[in-house]
Amino acid sequence: MTNTTTTVGQQRRALTASTLSFTVCFAVWTIFSIIGIKIKAQLGLTDTQFGILVATPVLTGSLSRLFLGIWTDQYGGRLVYTLQMLATAIAAYLLTLVTTYEMFLVAALGVGLAGGSFAVGVAYVSRWYPKEKQGTALGIFGMGNVGAAITNFGAPMLLVAMGGEWQGVVQVYAVIMVITAVLFFTLTKDDPVHKSHKKEGIAHPSFVDQLEPLKNLQVWRFSLYYFFVFGAYVALALWLPRYYVGAYGLELGTAGMLAAAYALPGSIFRALGGWLSDKVGARTVMYWTFIASVACTFVMSYPATDYTVAGINGPIAFNLTIPLEIFVTLTIVLGFFMSLGKAAVYKHIPVYYPDHVGSVGGMVGLIGGLGGFFLPIAFGVMNDMIGVWTSCFMLLTIIISIALTWMHFTIQRAEKLRVPELRGPRNLPELEGLRG
């Protein structure tokens, strides 16, 4: 349900405040991509332990999306968003006080609340816009993913400014989060639907009622799409700094900047994805996303191989691997199409489930976010077990292929139900006047 009587000024204020807040939340959510490398060295962690550490905040951010989305439907995004940011700031500060790996994991769970902001923002923003403009609005809001690029690019610089002390970086992030929460609550208003419900005395839908749409297989299909376009995006934003350091032997600062080169287009073009979804259709954008992504990850899956060939003066050994320039270019292309896909997935939700944007958006975000939790762990485990850095892209190729296949056959089936003639013979009958 949306309210079309709001003014353009009110819509822009809600969208701007929500997007800036989401940017800060996303920057905090992915902070372990940088400080995690310092912690890894401090505690002597394996790649598997490192993968678990950087993925732990993503777990909380994913699981919290469902109930935060439902609470937004019940109590309004303005209140829920503010409380969520304040709770995250407290958890971030407490992170600086722990010293053992186990306590780092516990603290990381609290920091992960930052990721739950997405479900809140989607429900809040969508209620300010009519259906035909929601794709663009949600695409702009989703640009807050640029927070990952800000962290990958800016956190290493802040780390240097702090004399290499990661605790100072986290404390700065916590203060910024508190300021953002206060500004958001001060500058925004209750969304028009929530305000109308309060005025008319309409009872909040129960928690169980909000879960009703989750019985639809369609919701889980959307969730698989988001598992890749968002979950894999987060996973790579967390993993790429470590990948560049380990696979290419780069310094952390350089690795962070190259990871930011991937994360940036994975964020800023989300608005374009929303606009394209409004203009040419979300389904078309999803086809573009999956086809381009499977091509990129397939090429990036090629493992480094040592070859020996006969030479005039004896055997010549050389290593065949993807040149760094080509690899970085592929990550940028991959991030771009992931950005389009993220907007396209969420274009579907207010169209199919206008009265359950919070719960359905929360569930899709939850499953998508779990990709950001499980994939870094899987990357670390595979790297420890088989020692092939590109194995992470092999896994992503399989996931994209499954999603593309499911989407394509579902669309074909739906078209045949809508147009019964398509269920007949492949060869259409010849038309009168065109024979001979």
What percent of the chain has pLDDT above 90? Answer: 26
Ranges under pLDDT 50 in the chain: 1-4, 307-309, 317-319, 422, 425-436
At 435 the pLDDT is 42
Residue-level pLDDT at 126: 83
How many angstroms separate the Cα of 257 from the Cα of each of 244, 253, 270, 374, 433? Answer: 10, 6, 20, 24, 64
Q: What share of the chain is helix, strand, coil (3-state, %, to 5)?
A: 80, 0, 20
pLDDT at 317: 45
Query: Closest Cα to residue 33, out of 122, 107, 108?
Result: 108
End-to-end CA separation in angstroms for the chain: 56
How high is the mean pLDDT of the chain?
82
pTM summary value: 0.68
Please compute, for residue 327, the number of CA atoms within 13 A of its CA located in the half-sphere on the CB side: 20
Predicted confidence at residue 249, as pLDDT, reads 85
Retrieve residue 298's tokens.
């397939």
- Structural domains of the chain sorted by starting position, each given as residue range(s) with its CATH number in brackets: 8-193+220-417 (1.20.1250.20)
Question: What's the DSSP call for residue 305?
Answer: E
Dihedrals phi, psi of 317, to nearest 5 degrees: -100, 135
Distance CA 96, CA 70 (A): 31
301: closest CA among 397, 390, 232, 388?
390
| Phi, psi (degrees; rounded to nearest 5) at 127 | -75, -10
**Pairwise CA distance, residues 403 & 226, whole Å:** 10
- pLDDT, one tens digit per residue, over 284-337 is 999 999 999 999 999 998 876 554 445 566 555 444 577 899 999 999 999 999
Query: Kindly report the CA angle at 221 between 24 and 206, in degrees rounded to 5?
Result: 70
> Which distant-in-sequence residues (6+ apart) come within 8 Å of 42 by Cβ?
none
Q: Residue 307 pairs with which residues in a beta bridge? A: 318
**Cα(290)–Cα(300) distance, integer angstroms:** 15
* pLDDT at site 336: 93
